[in-house]
């Protein structure tokens, strides 16, 4: 698009309202961006209701409209990644595209968190001057943000009930349909789970990473238990034995499918056992060329969880700053509800964050055989 600030020479308006230059259509900056719609969409209630004009209402509206535009962009990026993942084989060139777009999502979430700082330039008294005009409207009613959560992989059963009801009841019928459909569609989490289950090296007969890794961990745990028995001080020995028991129990959730299933049932784990083993293999062998990009993607997904949690926390802090412990708009419990969403139950890829639990010293990582070295080269 040409720079709109350059001199517009030889421009004429055709019958459709578009400007032409030397017979060619030239789209103007304001038309391309639909600025006439965007810049006239800040309709202040204090003016419409004939009440005293409140300066900071304009900031409140502009900021929230900006949130919605960025939510739309994140949905655009996430949906494109879901489409790329919807295949039995993910080409390396497409992996670069996914990483680029997910990194973009991370940066957008960071930007959204910083927008709360702009809102905090408004005092609680300034907000109070027009808050009563908001009626039942609430940020909770953002259809796009709920769809964003669902597209990423937040489960309905993990959500905190809103005013004692299912979150879907806060939306209009047409919006409910869109949100329910976003719950039914395969989420990014589900696509990533299936992709991790196809990690090369998990299958027996080729390298069988997991069998080799388990043997290495068993040897490491046995050595640690033997060393603990040689500790002379009773308290220190008891501490060592307790730590070794915890380590063995923790690794058992990786070795024993029933132990893993129990964690899934409790809501403490989400990925399938095979997917977790695939992710662990990528973490341990991330220096191998074929695992460079998968490792970057897993790191990026972890960042999305981390920064979404910070976004929710910053929102909760803003609510407390503005309304204290009063009910929020829309009759929600305000700060207390928002604060309750800043928990692991809303984290989608928390299993990736927990992978560091199963890392072992480099000399304990099973060496690759020749076949796997060629595969990952």
pLDDT digits (tens, 9 = 90+) for 241-250: 999 999 999 9
Determine contact, residues 47/53, Cβ cutoff 8 Å: yes
The structure tokens listed for 134 are 């908001």
List 21's β-bridge partners, or say none. 11, 24
pLDDT number for residue 21 = 60
Which residue from 96, 105, 99 is spatially nearest to 76, judged by alpha carbons? Answer: 105
Determine contact, residues 143/335, Cβ cutoff 8 Å: no
The structure tokens listed for 167 are 């979150």
Residue 137's contacts (CB-CB under 8 Å, 6 or more residues apart) are: 329, 330
Q: 23 pLDDT band (50/70/90 cuts)? A: low
pLDDT number for residue 341 = 87
Crossing angle for the helix pair 209-229 and 234-255, to the nearest 10 degrees? 170
Determine contact, residues 309/316, Cβ cutoff 8 Å: no
Report the DSSP pairing between strands 24-26 and 11-13: unpaired
Determine contact, residues 122/54, Cβ cutoff 8 Å: no
Length of the chain: 377
Give the chain's radius of gyration (CA, Å).
27
pLDDT number for residue 328 = 55
Q: pLDDT higher for 8 or 127?
A: 127
Least confident of 135-139, 210-214, 348-352: 135-139
Phi/psi at 66 (5° precision): -65, -40
Determine contact, residues 39/52, Cβ cutoff 8 Å: no
Which residue from 335, 332, 344, 343 is spatially nearest to 315, judged by alpha carbons? Answer: 335
Degrees, nearest 5: CA angle 342-269-199: 120
Percent of the chain with pLDDT over 70: 92
Which residue from 57, 19, 195, 108 is spatially nearest to 11, judged by alpha carbons? Answer: 19
Determine contact, residues 195/98, Cβ cutoff 8 Å: no
The structure tokens listed for 330 are 């829309």
Buried b (16+ CB within 10 A) or exposed e, 239-278: ebeeebeebbeebebbbeeebbeeeeeeeebbbbbbbbbb
Q: pLDDT higher for 21 or 360?
A: 360
Which residue from 105, 98, 152 is spatially nearest to 293, judged by alpha carbons? Answer: 98
Kindly tell me if the per-residue pLDDT of 137 is higher than 60. yes
Kindly tell me if the per-residue pLDDT of 28 is higher than 60. yes
Q: 377 pLDDT band (50/70/90 cuts)? A: confident
| Residue 26, H or E segment | strand 24-26
Per-residue model confidence as pLDDT tens digits over 91-101: 878 999 999 99
Q: What is the DSSP string of 251-264?
A: HHHHH-HHHHHHHH
Phi/psi at 232 (5° precision): -75, -45
Q: Quickly tell me which residue has 């695992």 as its tokens.
A: 291
Per-residue model confidence as pLDDT tens digits over 226-240: 898 888 888 988 898
User: Span 113-118, mean pLDDT?
Assistant: 94
Per-residue model confidence as pLDDT tens digits over 29-40: 999 999 999 999
Which residue from 347, 362, 356 is spatially nearest to 250, judged by alpha carbons? Answer: 356
Determine contact, residues 283/368, Cβ cutoff 8 Å: no
The structure tokens listed for 177 are 């349909």
Determine contact, residues 80/104, Cβ cutoff 8 Å: no
Which residue from 136, 126, 134 is spatially nearest to 49, judged by alpha carbons? Answer: 134
Per-residue model confidence as pLDDT tens digits over 74-111: 999 999 999 999 988 888 789 999 999 999 999 999 99
Widest distance between CA atoms in the chain: 95
Phi/psi at 365 (5° precision): -75, 125
SS3 13: strand
pLDDT number for residue 192 = 97
Kindly tell me if the per-residue pLDDT of 219 is higher than 90. yes
Beta-carbon count within 10 A of 43 CB? 9
The model's pTM is: 0.88
Per-residue model confidence as pLDDT tens digits over 281-322: 999 999 999 999 999 999 999 999 999 999 999 999 999 998
Spell out the domains of the chain, with CATH numbers in brackets.
Answer: 1-40 (no CATH), 58-377 (1.20.58.480)
């Amino acid at each position: 698009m040409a720079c709109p600030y350059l001199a517009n020479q030889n421009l004429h308006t055709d019958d459709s309202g578009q400007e032409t230059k030397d017979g060619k259509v030239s789209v103007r900056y304001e038309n391309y961006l639909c600025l006439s719609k965007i810049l006239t969409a800040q309709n202040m209630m204090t003016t419409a209701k004939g009440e005293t004009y409140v300066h900071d209402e304009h900031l409140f509206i502009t900021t929230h409209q900006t949130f919605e535009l960025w939510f739309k962009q994140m949905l655009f990026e996430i949906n494109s990644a879901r489409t790329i993942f919807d295949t039995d084989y993910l080409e390396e060139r497409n992996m670069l595209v996914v990483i680029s777009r997910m990194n973009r999502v991370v940066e957008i979430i960071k930007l959204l968190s910083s927008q709360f700082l702009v809102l905090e330039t408004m005092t609680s008294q300034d907000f109070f001057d027009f808050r009563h005009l908001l009626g039942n409207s609430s940020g909770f009613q953002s259809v796009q943000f709920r769809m964003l959560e669902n597209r990423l992989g937040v489960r309905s059963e993990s959500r905190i009930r809103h005013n004692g009801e299912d979150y879907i009841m806060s939306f209009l019928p047409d919006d409910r349909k869109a949100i329910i459909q976003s719950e039914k569609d395969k989420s990014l989490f589900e696509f990533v789970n299936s992709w991790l289950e196809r990690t090369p090296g998990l299958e027996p007969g080729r390298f069988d990473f997991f069998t080799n890794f388990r043997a290495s961990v068993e040897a490491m745990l046995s050595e640690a238990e033997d060393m603990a028995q040689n500790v002379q001080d009773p308290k220190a020995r008891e501490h060592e034995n307790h730590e070794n028991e915890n380590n063995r129990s923790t690794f058992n959730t990786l070795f024993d499918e029933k132990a893993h299933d129990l964690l899934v049932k409790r809501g403490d784990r989400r990925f399938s056992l095979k997917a977790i083993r695939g992710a662990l293999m990528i973490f341990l062998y991330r220096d191998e060329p074929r695992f460079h990009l998968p490792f970057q993607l897993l790191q990026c997904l972890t960042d999305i969880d981390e920064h979404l949690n910070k976004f929710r926390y910053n929102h909760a802090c803003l609510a407390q700053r503005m309304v204290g412990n009063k009910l929020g708009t829309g009759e929600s419990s305000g700060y207390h509800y928002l604060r309750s969403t800043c928990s692991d139950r809303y984290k989608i890829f928390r299993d990736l964050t927990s992978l560091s639990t199963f890392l072992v010293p480099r000399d304990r990582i099973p060496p690759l055989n020749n076949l796997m070295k060629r595969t990952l080269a």
